[in-house]
Amino acid sequence: MSALFSMSAQLLAAESKAKVTVGNSREDIWFKLDPVPAPAINDAATTGVFAVVSGRVDPNSGALDVLKDGKIPGGNDEPRSNFFFSNSDEANRLTIDLGKAMPLRGIATYSWHSGSRSGQRYRLFGSDGTAEKFEKAPATGVDPVSVGWVAVAAVDTSDKPPGQHAAAVHGVDGAALGTFRHLMLEVSANEDARGFGHTFFSEIDVIPVEGPEIVRIEPPKRWSAPES
């Protein structure tokens, strides 16, 4: 990550009152990436509608549903258990429609790869969908801010070693991130001259302010004999 990008990300985050928290591990297999909690299985993304509005999905990618199924890949190189774009000159844009506007605590994105596909680099936009000029699916070349979206934050975990990466975008000091119906990730590849730099996204969580208590994935319980 360049110092310049880091600085601009912090400025962007400050303007939108968003904070980005990153966790990573080279060894863990259950996404315990403190301080980012493990992926949620009952968050608002579960019933959201995911769509690619710009860019090309890699032919070896899993379906969009892998991003919200509350399941994690079984290993560090499982293309079909992840969602990833194919390298192209287009902006790679992925949207989530939550069905209605709701106050959000934040979102969290999880990725896993043994090499150059582990890091996450994306810009996050949000919208309540009410602006007259709102465009639900702004394609390459359309500035999202010009069609009713708010720039929320920029995420870059590419300076972390390969393995599992998690990024949480949340409000500052316990405040909500904002009230959104639509979320959009504009995803960039990690730098890789061989062209294998697009992130293996394993899960994307959207955590609402209201609703049931969030349940997270856990390692299977080990059976142990009762004490006699």
Interface with Ca ion by CB under 5 A: which residues?
40, 43, 70, 205
Residue nearest to Ca ion (CB): 205
Q: How far is the CB of 219 from Ca ion (least distance, A)?
A: 17
CB of 45 to Ca ion, least distance (A): 5
Alpha carbon separation from 225 to 72, 128, 146, 222, 228 (Å, rounded): 29, 52, 62, 10, 9
Q: Which is nearer to Ca ion, 44 or 151 (CB)?
A: 44
Least distance between Ca ion and beta carbon 135 (Å): 26
Q: Residue 99 or 161: which CB sits closer to Ca ion?
A: 99
Instruction: Rank residues 116 and 201 by Cβ distance to Ca ion and give the closer one.
Output: 201
DSSP letters spanning the chain? --HHHHHHHHHHHHHTTEEEEEEEESS-SS--BTTBPPPBSSSGGGGSEEEEEES-B-TTPPPGGGGTSS---SSS--GGGSB-BPP-SS-EEEEEEEEEEEEEEEEEEEEEESSTTS--EEEEEEE-S-STT--SS--TT--GGGGT-EEEEEEE-TTSPSEEEEEEEEEGGG---EEEEEEEEEE-PPP-TTS--S--EEEEEEEESSSSPP-B--PPPPP-PPP-
Distance of closest approach, residue 193 Cβ to Ca ion, in angstroms: 33
Pick 40 or 96: Cβ nearer Ca ion:
40
| Angle, CA of 187, 79 and 95, to the nearest 5° | 30
Angstrom distance (rounded) from CA 172 to CA 18: 6
Shorter beta-carbon distance to Ca ion: residue 70 or 103: 70
CB of 136 to Ca ion, least distance (A): 22
d(CA 61, CA 140): 21
Q: How far is the CB of 223 from Ca ion (least distance, A)?
A: 27
CB-nearer residue toward Ca ion: 70 or 115:
70
Of the pair 40, 183, the CB lying nearest Ca ion is at: 40
CB of 216 to Ca ion, least distance (A): 9
